[in-house]
Amino acid sequence: QVQLVESGGGLVQAGGSLRLSCAASGTIFSINAMGWYRQAPGKVRESVALIFSDIGTKYADSVKGRFTISRDNAKNKVYLEMNSLQPDDTAVYYCNAAVQDSEYGWDDYWGQGTQVTVSS
């Protein structure tokens, strides 16, 4: 079993910045990929940023140039630096990880979510 714990959400003014953190713990053989998703009220969950162990990163068009995803592999952590935040960025942000959690295979895990609210 693997747990993902998120932190860093909160209330910020438009144009401001925020840094989200996610730490994975438990039975971890390796982490193949980590990412951030978000879900605004009344909308579906969408991919924001992904980072892979071997092929790099992928961003949603709406956040390119504003958000940066990074990993600390030694600590099993992933971060999301969010700059130039706008009210449309308001959502619950979820951490996701593809984890090899046994000697036989891997599973997909989700964090509990952290609220980001951007005021105009």
pLDDT in tens, 62-71: 999 999 999 9
The amino acid present at 46, given as its one-letter code, is E
CA distance 24 to 50: 16
Please give the DSSP secondary-structure letter assigned to residue 84: S
Contact call for residues 69 and 50 (beta carbons, < 8 A): yes
Mean pLDDT throughout 90-111? Answer: 95
Q: Beta strand 46-52 with 56-59: parallel, antiparallel or unpaired? A: antiparallel
| 17 token code pair | 């910045």
What value does the mean pLDDT take over residues 83-111? Answer: 96
Task: Look up residue 70 and give its two tokens.
Answer: 């990074």
Contact (CB, 8 A) for 21 and 79: yes
Quickly state the pLDDT bin for 54 (edges 50, 70, 90): confident
Given a cut of 90, whether residue 4 has pLDDT beyond it is: yes
